[in-house]
Amino acid sequence: MKISFLLHNAYGIGGTISTTFNLAGALADRHDVEIVSVMRHRERPEIALDPRVALRPLVDLRTERDHPLHRRPATVFPAAEYRYRQYSELTDARIAESLAASDADVLVGTRPGLNVHLALQGPQRSVRVGQEHLTLDNHPPRLRTALRRAYRRLDVLTTVTEADAAAYRRKMRLPGVRVAALPNSVPDPALPVADGSAKVVVAAGRLVPVKRYDLLIEAFARVAAEHPDWQLRVYGKGQELPRLRQLVEDLGLVDNVRLMGVAAPMEAEWVKGSIGAAASDFEPFGMTLVEAMRCGLPVVSTDCPYGPGEIIQDGADGLLVPVGDREALTAALLELVGDDERRRRMGRTAVENARRFAPGPVVARAELLFEEALAARRGDGPRAADGGGLGRVLVSQGFAVRDVAYGAAGRARRMLRKARG
């Protein structure tokens, strides 16, 4: 099978880029795989890409930023999409040309605007797969309307959580389109996992408001007061950096909270810690949660929509707390900081539970989705229903019912605790 991913900018850094690179590299074991990057702004990608995966840019911003067509607004890429202002008549034309010339068996879009291009312009000979890395409810109404019209021409739509797949099935009404959850994958650790002895809490991601690093730093202030030998290390870059740096100084935490900048790969930093932490208001999946767990760290996270509740088994491999609740976040951190044996036990459980996000299980799901869609297009078999062959693979790989049960069980436990307290 030849598989082609259409990506916004493979030369940047972010969760969608990471998971696309991970999936493409794993698929390259058995398939011909390429990544088509609409934009390019530097010579090489910031994230390492498997050399077996071909990378082809369409618009090089270093030389074409002032191209006449790049000054005109896009007409195919939907205007309500978050990245719209970065697209143009030039990107419209280059994407259309690339899709028309593609000989891929499977074409995969990686964001809503690119999925629209794929749906409207992808050749009929190819299976067209739209990937959703955010959530339906996160999109503004105008974008949802545009997606509803275009997505009817897709063969498959994947979401990163079961909850979001259910939302698409319930709200979008896409007859004939296979809607299925396909979580992000994280490669097997190359280093020995953490042993839980380091007095370090680790957080990583883009330094943007929705990630609420301010809340995490404020919550850690009490941890540092009670356990001054513990440290919080925050990895990443973004617009919040000056404000977070000032917050650290204002709270007198310069000896306990370190803003570490970008680290790639992050694995070497995760294994230096004993607890992973996330305080997001919204998290479509939570790549950093899985990365931390795969490296042996239990994770303390807000139970925001949608990812954490499907990744973390509350009380077994991590702790979930209400969104925006600084006191609950502080208490959860103190709970693990103050109990060495529990922290280490939960770290070992995290490694086991996170195996379902290894490349093997996730690639098996992707391959089955692609193969069933190809068979349906060739007329070799009926279009699979959402619970058919894929459902059997999900159960065999430890997904499906258990994933939903993790989130439901966690919510039930929290409701009981609230009722008692």
- Confirm whether 390 is domain-assigned: no
Cα-to-chain-centroid distance, residue 155: 22
Q: Which residues contact 75 (CB under 8 A, 6 or more apart)?
A: 89, 92
Examine the domain organization and report whether 239 and 310 are in the same domain. Answer: yes
CATH number at residue 237: 3.40.50.2000
Domain boundary among 355, 376, 406: 355
Examine the domain organization and report whether 164 and 205 are in the same domain. Answer: no
- Confirm whether 397 is domain-assigned: no
CB contact at 8 A, 245 and 275: no
How many independent structural domains does the chain possess?
2
Mean pLDDT of 359-376: 94
Examine the domain organization and report whether 213 and 147 are in the same domain. Answer: no
Structure confidence at residue 393 as a pLDDT band (50, 70, 90): very low
Examine the domain organization and report whether 236 and 308 are in the same domain. Answer: yes
Structure confidence at residue 381 as a pLDDT band (50, 70, 90): low
- Each residue's pLDDT tens digit, 234-243: 999 999 999 9
Question: What gap in Å lies between CA 169 and CA 152, rounded to an integer?
Answer: 12
- Confirm whether 218 is domain-assigned: yes
Examine the domain organization and report whether 28 and 95 are in the same domain. Answer: yes
Examine the domain organization and report whether 21 and 153 are in the same domain. Answer: yes
Examine the domain organization and report whether 166 and 266 are in the same domain. Answer: no
CB contact at 8 A, 7 and 36: yes
pTM of the model: 0.81
- Confirm whether 384 is domain-assigned: no
What is the pLDDT of the chain when averaged over all its residues? 90
Question: What gap in Å lies between CA 250 and CA 244, rounded to an integer?
Answer: 10
Order of strands, sheet of 231-235, starting from the edge strand that comes earlier in the sequence: 257-261, 231-235, 200-204, 275-278, 299-302, 318-321
- Each residue's pLDDT tens digit, 79-122: 999 999 999 999 999 999 999 999 999 999 999 999 999 999 99
Mean pLDDT of 18-30: 93
Examine the domain organization and report whether 236 and 340 are in the same domain. Answer: yes
pLDDT at 396 over 80: no
Task: Provide the domain limits for residue 140.
Answer: 2-181
